[in-house]
Amino acid sequence: MNPLRLIGLVLILAGVLALGLGRVSFTKSTHQIKVGPIELAVKETKDFELPIWAGVSAIVIGGVLMVLGGRRP
């Protein structure tokens, strides 16, 4: 498979995932204290909103790369 077509396919899949999910959550450990056998950890959950324009742009650019990758020079 042509490298341009492969990159285009990956971008299309990433764009569809971005549109489907809409939001990504992750947990981040911020502080950790160890005092003898006692441990204290603070974990924060963060949400990252994926913009719609980013998903649509990835799909469009991926489609263009798929078309350009199929052309013979």
Q: What is the pLDDT of residue 37?
A: 87
Q: What is the pLDDT of residue 63?
A: 94
Could you tell me if 69 and 32 are in contact, meaning their C-beta atoms sit under 8 angstroms apart?
no
Residue by residue, pLDDT tens for the chain (73 residues) are 788 899 999 999 999 999 998 888 888 877 788 888 888 888 888 888 989 999 999 999 999 999 888 776 6
Sign for the CA dihedral angle at 64, 60, 58, 53 comes to positive
Measured distance CA(69)–CA(44) in Å, rounded: 43
Query: Domain segments of the chain: what residues?
Result: 3-70
Measured distance CA(3)–CA(6) in Å, rounded: 5
The model carries a pTM of: 0.69
